[in-house]
């Protein structure tokens, strides 16, 4: 059946046609939205923006100094109602009206919180809507070099970046190189329109080439988003397969479903054309099929540890369309690589961005990043940006996969998804032993007690990668981007809707090594579940600087700014408990570590237990710190329980608890922490 249900009539193009980009002016009277898009995208002369000098050249001393704040532009603040067409705030999947002017209007709020870098959602023009959902998030690109007019024009984007730079706030752009929006369909049955139909006569399958999985089985096929086929999507008629299916671009200006731009992106050869990834959440089934072993149990098979299975699943992830019809670019082609580089170099030039957050990192082969990243760094450097930061999203909990994209000419850092699952959810949420935090860190940094346990992450920085204030290259192991929430996962407070547990996790986020990233609304206690519930609106009442979570984050950022070791220091674990948080031992729930930089050391102690007081002390032995005997340490982070709000502040003079270090640096018997609390101890 046809996908189209609106009153407008799309034009299906069976092959790329140069006429598609010239038709719109001649049919403006029939497609008023098209006229609006044209006006919005062309009213600003890009060369005028590009050629003006940078208003406030940014100086990045050390990216580890930064606190990143992630903003989904459409959901943050509506500063300009003139661009509110297509807005429906009653539907979670529609545009809600946020824009770049709204961020400008709220920069004082962000400055008060203490954030030093903004990561904003993609800025490029998108397919307007698909299957009833809007492209408010920005990940459905149609035009890689023009702005999304829902958020403003190019001059407004540059105004936002300039305004941030005046406040010494860096701006990071979210980019996508893996795919475009759903702009074409596979004409499997050859009738020149997008259909859905049934093939065969049996059950569904998981994995690839479903007709081969279940010979004679029924497969529901949609020409917009067919299941993965490693050979490429095949045409099919009543007589059987008839070779590779052609793709068909669609011309529908009313929703901006048109062949992609700039020139070249409308070339069918630029796409892998293998259909959508089908193995997610069904890795076990796909593995057993791949192995061809009747005794294989999908529920227990170690698909990640079985090379044939892992390679097959990774092949789909890198060559398949992202489910929902996002068409996968063939990034192995040099012309595709050149076009993507040119598009994103353009945004550095015209908008003065300071870094890129890269979407769907693991869906693109490493050789692409080894081509793209050095060129982007060189381009930024030529514009005076020596510290252009590149970090990526590989939505995966396997550290060996995450680490494989870091260094070696690729990205500088990745989102620490393994920590999200193993530490924030398992330890702070579920009460697992804090020794699991130490184990995760040893996977990244190496094991001082076991030289045979090699760190998974490289210690070799990228050429022209991040440096410290003295000009020394920073190890990628020390640049992990740490997060508690983001737009792809349920918020922490959805899983554990308790302010003190939430603040305890935030305490760890803002004191460990690496670069903390805070998702908008976290500071207001947002508790949305999975997408789209985790993409709430920051209504005017949500910009509350007295909110307990806001004040907790604010205090922790202030302490990061005050004490350099909390930003740049090495990390040494001095206590980790092998007992679950409810295990009943003195140290159950305790994790303690030192951060040292420039001759200064800070001791951080956290109790992850939800119920019990605890201390870094067990069997007559306390933690062994690096401080000399007799040193007095004072707590600088004071938590509050008035009214159950569980806010926090930087301790005033004489307010924080004091502790005296014993022989051999021992400390712990007297360091008693209430449940879900932390201390930051410094020399008095």
- Cα(620)–Cα(614) distance, rounded to whole angstroms? 14
Task: Report pLDDT digits (tens) over 416-428.
Answer: 999 999 999 999 9
Q: Which of the residue ranges 126-140, 437-451, 632-646 would you say has the lowest mean pLDDT?
A: 632-646
- The pLDDT value recorded for residue 645 is 62
Banded pLDDT at 46 (limits 50, 70, 90): low
Task: Report pLDDT digits (tens) over 154-204.
Answer: 999 999 999 999 999 999 999 999 999 999 999 999 999 999 877 654 444
Q: Inform me whether the pLDDT recorded for 449 exceeds 90.
A: no
Highest mean pLDDT among 4-8, 20-24, 393-397: 393-397
Banded pLDDT at 47 (limits 50, 70, 90): low
Q: Inform me whether the pLDDT recorded for 626 exceeds 70.
A: yes
- Cα(550)–Cα(532) distance, rounded to whole angstroms? 23
- The pLDDT value recorded for residue 460 is 96
User: What SS3 class is residue 187?
Assistant: coil
- The pLDDT value recorded for residue 644 is 58
Give this prediction's pTM: 0.91
The average pLDDT across 90-114 equals 98
3-state helix, strand, coil in the chain (%, to 5): 30, 20, 50
| C-alpha to C-alpha distances, 380 to 104, 155, 169, 368, nearest whole angstrom | 24, 20, 18, 18
Q: What percent of the chain has pLDDT over 90?
A: 82
> Is the separation of the CB atoms in 247 and 187 below 8 Å?
yes
Q: Inform me whether the pLDDT recorded for 608 exceeds 50.
A: yes
Q: Inform me whether the pLDDT recorded for 477 exceeds 50.
A: yes
Q: Inform me whether the pLDDT recorded for 683 exceeds 70.
A: yes
Task: Report pLDDT digits (tens) over 492-527.
Answer: 999 999 999 999 999 999 999 999 999 999 999 999
- CA neighbor of 422 nearest in space, from 593, 571, 592, 608: 608
- The pLDDT value recorded for residue 219 is 65
The average pLDDT across 91-103 equals 97
- Cα(457)–Cα(446) distance, rounded to whole angstroms? 9
- The pLDDT value recorded for residue 49 is 56
- Cα(404)–Cα(417) distance, rounded to whole angstroms? 14
In the chain, what are the domains?
A: 63-181+332-560 (3.20.20.80), 564-683 (2.60.40.1180)
> Is the separation of the CB atoms in 24 and 31 below 8 Å?
yes
Q: Inform me whether the pLDDT recorded for 223 exceeds 90.
A: yes
Parallel/antiparallel/unpaired status of strands 68-71 and 515-519: parallel
The average pLDDT across 15-25 equals 33
- Cα(447)–Cα(321) distance, rounded to whole angstroms? 39
Banded pLDDT at 448 (limits 50, 70, 90): confident
> Is the separation of the CB atoms in 527 and 502 below 8 Å?
no
**Crossing angle of the two packed helices 499-509 and 548-562, in degrees rounded to 10:** 20
Q: Inform me whether the pLDDT recorded for 434 exceeds 80.
A: yes
Task: Report pLDDT digits (tens) over 241-273.
Answer: 899 999 999 999 999 999 999 999 999 999 999
Q: Inform me whether the pLDDT recorded for 640 exceeds 70.
A: yes
User: DSSP states of 450-467 as a string?
Assistant: -TTS--SS--PPPTT--B
Q: In 197-333, where does DSSP find H-type helix?
A: 210-213, 283-291, 307-319
User: What SS3 class is residue 451?
Assistant: coil
């Amino acid at each position: 059946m046809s996908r189209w249900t609106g009153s407008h009539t799309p034009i299906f193009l069976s092959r790329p046609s140069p006429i598609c980009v010239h038709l719109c002016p001649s049919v403006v009277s029939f497609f008023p939205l098209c006229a609006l898009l044209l006006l919005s995208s062309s009213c600003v002369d890009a060369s005028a923006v590009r050629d003006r000098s940078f208003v406030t050249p940014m100086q990045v001393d050390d990216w580890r100094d930064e606190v990143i704040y992630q903003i989904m532009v459409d959901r943050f603040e509506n500063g300009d109602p003139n661009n509110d067409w297509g807005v429906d705030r009653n539907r979670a999947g529609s545009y809600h009206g946020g824009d770049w002017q709204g961020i400008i209007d709220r920069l004082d709020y962000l400055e008060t919180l203490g954030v030093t870098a903004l990561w904003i959602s993609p800025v490029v023009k998108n397919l307007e809507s698909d299957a009833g959902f809007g492209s408010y998030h920005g990940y459905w690109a149609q035009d890689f070099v023009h702005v999304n007019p829902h958020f403003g024009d190019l001059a407004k984007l540059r105004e936002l970046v300039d305004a941030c730079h005046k406040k010494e706030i860096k701006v990071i752009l979210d980019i996508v190189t893996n795919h475009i929006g759903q702009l074409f369909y596979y004409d499997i049955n050859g009738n020149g329109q997008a259909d859905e139909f049934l093939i065969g006569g049996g059950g569904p399958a998981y994995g690839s080439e479903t007709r081969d999985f279940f010979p004679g089985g029924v497969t529901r096929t949609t020409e917009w988003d067919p299941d993965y086929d490693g050979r490429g999507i095949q045409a099919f008629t009543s007589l059987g397969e008839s070779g590779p299916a052609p793709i068909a671009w669609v011309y529908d200006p009313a929703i901006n479903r048109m062949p992609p731009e700039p020139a070249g992106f409308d070339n069918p050869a630029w796409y892998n054309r293998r259909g959508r990834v089908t193995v997610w959440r069904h890795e076990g089934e796909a593995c057993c099929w791949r192995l061809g072993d009747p005794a294989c149990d999908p529920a227990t098979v170690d698909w990640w540890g079985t090379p044939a299975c892992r390679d097959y699943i990774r092949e789909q992830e890198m060559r398949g369309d992202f489910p929902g019809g996002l068409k996968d670019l063939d990034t192995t082609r040099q012309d595709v690589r050149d076009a993507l580089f040119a598009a994103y170099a353009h945004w550095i030039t015209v908008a003065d961005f300071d870094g890129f957050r890269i979407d769907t990192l693991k869906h693109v082969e490493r050789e692409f990043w080894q081509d793209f990243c050095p060129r982007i760094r060189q381009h930024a450097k030529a514009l005076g940006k020596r510290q252009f930061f590149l970090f990526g999203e590989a939505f995966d909990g396997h550290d060996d996969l995450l680490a494989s994209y870091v260094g070696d000419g690729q990205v500088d850092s990745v989102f620490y998804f393994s920590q999200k699952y193993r530490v924030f959810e398992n330890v702070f949420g579920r009460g697992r032993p804090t020794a699991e935090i130490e184990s995760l860190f040893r996977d990244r940094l190496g094991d001082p007690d076991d030289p045979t346990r090699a760190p998974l992450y490289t210690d070799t920085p990228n050429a022209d990668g991040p440096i410290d204030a003295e000009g020394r290259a920073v190890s990628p192991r020390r640049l992990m981007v740490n997060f508690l929430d983001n737009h792809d996962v349920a918020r922490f407070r959805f899983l554990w809707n308790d302010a003190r547990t939430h603040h305890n996790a935030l305490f760890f986020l803002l004191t460990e090594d690496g670069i903390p990233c805070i998702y908008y609304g976290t500071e207001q206690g947002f508790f949305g579940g999975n997408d789209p519930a985790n993409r709430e609106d920051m209504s005017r009442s949500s910009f509350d600087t007295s909110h307990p979570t806001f004040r907790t984050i604010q205090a922790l950022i202030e302490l990061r700014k005050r004490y350099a070791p909390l930003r740049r220091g090495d990390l040494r674990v001095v206590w980790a408990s092998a007992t679950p948080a409810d295990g009943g031992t003195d140290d159950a729930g305790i994790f303690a570590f030192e951060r040292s930089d420039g001759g200064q050391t800070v001791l951080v102690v956290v109790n992850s237990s939800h119920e019990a007081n605890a201390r870094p002390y067990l069997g007559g032995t306390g933690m062994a710190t690096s401080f000399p005997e007799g040193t007095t340490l004072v707590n600088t982070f004071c938590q509050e329980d008035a009214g159950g709000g569980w806010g926090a502040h930087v301790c005033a003079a004489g307010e924080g608890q004091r502790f005296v270090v014993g022989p051999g640096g021992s400390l712990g018997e007297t360091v008693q922490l209430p449940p879900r609390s932390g201390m930051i101890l410094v020399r008095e």
